Amino acid sequence: MSLKPNAKTVLEVKDLKTYFKTDAGIVKAVDGVSFTVHEGETLGIVGESGSGKSVTNLSVMRLISSPPGKIVGGEVLFEGQDILKLSETEMRSIRGDKISMIFQDPMTSLNPFLRISTQMVETIRLHNKDVSKKEALARSIEMLKLVGIPSPEKRIQSYPHQFSGGMRQRVMIAQALSCNAQVLVADEPTTALDVTIQAQILELIDKLSSQMGTAVILVTHDLGVVAGMCDVVCVMYAGRIVEKAITDDLYARPSHPYTEGLIKSVPRMDTANKNNRLFSIEGQPPNVIDLPPCCPFHPRCHKSMEVCRHAYPPIKDLGNGHEVACWLYAEEATRAKALQDAEQQEKV
């Protein structure tokens, strides 16, 4: 499925399940997600708000706050080792050093009580004890320059509240990039930034990925970014991956009705009829508490069938690693059987 068939597999997530226990019931925020990231590859995750993208990434880092959250199943293999089974100490040597993360919310992700310099220097020195404070500071300043902070030598001594949201986001990015990790998890890294900076940052990440062989997991809402940056795309809906394909494949042949809708709803310059109203997917994403067995997308799907209301679709490989979870691509026999099983279930 990879574009670079002989690249080393760095991170492999298998059937990951993360649930939250709340007063209203169990939230299945991530429910059986699998994907693989190779060296130098960028994997995009797209999906509506609340589909479980951030929870997936936090689970990979084992940063789900517990309670209420818990990783209840699956494996996260980093270089062949299941990091869900590591001790907390071992996990610490992976975080920040092997896998680093850019968080979604720049306003609150920096410590308001510490200077930027303190926070950046500590990031660099944490896994590299032999770097002196001075060197680390110089490197931090360089990183800040790289992400486009003006006069970083001065600004590095500021506190986060003295920075704008976009600048904070860039500090977060600089901080995450400064550790040269093998995997970079970027959760909507550029949402808070204006277009020019956005392009610069993405270019930076891209360069990093291709030069250093860093594997990148990029979460974004922007399908344009996905098209430009990602080698492979996963589309998430209600805690599951509903379609996964090589980027070009996905755009050429969106197979899941949801993906189709997503791509159609992007405004395009080249559409012939400018008067056409923008396409949008009707309805709201479901609340992932106590969902009955069904395709969670069926209430909004214009191709929904009877079976969609009663069973979750199996994953079907359409060739070239293009996987889709939709009843449209299942054989008639499978559908019939699923319906029967569901009826059986309901009777019991």
Partner 1 sequence: MTKYIVNRLLGIIPTLLIIITLSFFIVRVAPGGPFATERNLPEVVKRNIEAKYHMDEPMIQQYGRYMFDILRGDLGPSFKYKDYDVNYYIANSLPKSIVLGSWAMLIALVFGISAGIIAAVKQNTWIDYASMGIAVIGISVPLFVIAPVLQLIFAMKLQWLPTSGWYTTGEGYKTIILPAVSLSFAYFANIARLTRSSMLDTLRSDYIRTAKAKGMKNSTIIFKHAMKGAMLPVISYLGPAFAGIITGSIVVEQIFRVPGLGKFFVQSSFNRDYTLIVGVVIVYSLILVFMNFLVDIVYAQLDPRITYK
Partner 2 sequence: MFSKKKIEAPLNEFDQVIVGNSLGKDAWKRLKKNKMAVIGMVVVIVYSLLAAFAMFLPIYPYDQIILDHQHLRPTFNKTAGDLMMETKLEDLYFKAWRSGSLVVTEEQSTQIKTWIADNKTNTVWNFCYAEGERQRAAGTFTFSAADQKTIDRLQSRIETEFLISVEKLFWTDPVTGKTKNLEKMDYEDILPVYASITGLEPKDVEAQTLTEIRSQVLNTIKETSPDLTDEEYASSLEMELTAMGEKGIHTIGKSNLIGKIQTTVTRTSERTLKQEIKDGSAEFPINKTVNLSDNLTAEIQASKKHDRHYYLGTDYSGRDMLSRIIYGGQVSIAIGLVGTLTSVLIGIVLGALAGYMGGKVDFFLMRLVDIMYGLPYMLLVIICMAIFGRNIMNLFIALALVSWLTVARMVRGQVMSLKNSEYVEAARSMGASTGRIIFRHMVPNSLSVIIVYSTLRVPAFIMQESFLSFLGLGVQAPYASWGSLVGDAVNGMTLYPWKLIFPALAMTIFLFAMNFFGDGLRDAFDPQSKNQL
- Asked whether position 18 contacts Mg ion by CB under 5 A, the answer is no
**Footprint of ligand ATP on 121-180 (CB under 6 A):** none
Out of 2, 54, 59, 169, the only residue in the binding site for Mg ion (CB under 5 A) is 54
Task: Show Cβ contacts of residue 278 under 8 Å, excluding neighbours closer than 6 positions.
Answer: 265, 267
Task: Name which of 27 and 177 has its Cβ closer to ligand ATP.
Answer: 27
Taking contact as CB under 6 A, which single stretch among the options 44-52, 210-218, 243-251, 323-331 is the one that binds ligand ATP?
44-52
Site residues for ligand ATP, window 200-239 (CB under 6 A)? none
- Residue with smaller CB distance to Mg ion, 100 or 104: 104
Q: Which does 320 bind (CB under 5 to 8 A by kind): partner 2, Mg ion, partner 1, none?
A: none
52 binds, among partner 2, partner 1, ligand ATP, none (CB under 5 to 8 A by kind): ligand ATP
Give the Cα separation of 200 and 53 in Å (integer).
Answer: 24
Angle between helices 133-146 and 116-126 (to 10 degrees): 110
- Interface contacts to partner 1, rule CB under 8 A: 58, 61, 63, 65, 92-97, 100-101, 103, 105, 108-114, 122-123, 126-127, 159, 161, 172, 179
Residue 312: C-alpha distances to residues 217, 292, 306 (Å): 26, 9, 12
Q: CB nearer to ligand ATP: give 56 or 214.
A: 56
CA dist 185 and 217 (Å) reads: 5
Positions that interact with partner 2 (CB under 8 A): 23, 283, 286, 290-292, 294, 299-300
Least distance CB 30 / Mg ion (angstroms):
12
CA angle 281, 15, 92 (to 5 degrees): 110
Other Cβ atoms within 10 Å of 208 Cβ, number: 17
Give the C-alpha separation, 331 to 307, whole Å.
12
How far apart CA 237 and CA 242 sit, in angstroms, is 6
H or E segment to which residue 298 belongs: none
Residue with the shortest CB distance to Mg ion:
54
Contact 59, 71 (CB under 8 A): yes
Q: What minimum distance in Å lies between the beta carbon of 304 and partner 2?
A: 11
| Extended strands (E) in 79-118 | 81-82, 99-102
When the beta carbons of 93 and 287 are compared against partner 2, the nearer one is: 287
Tell me, by CB under 6 A, how many residues bind ligand ATP: 16
Closest residue by Cα to residue 12 from 222, 215, 156: 215
The answer to whether the CB of 245 falls within 8 A of the CB of 261 is no
CB closer to partner 1 out of 50 and 257 = 50
Q: Is 190 in the site for ligand ATP (CB under 6 A)?
A: no
Residue 288 touching ligand ATP (CB under 6 A):
yes
Using CB under 6 A, list all residues that contact ligand ATP: 20, 22, 27, 29, 47, 49-55, 68-69, 104, 288
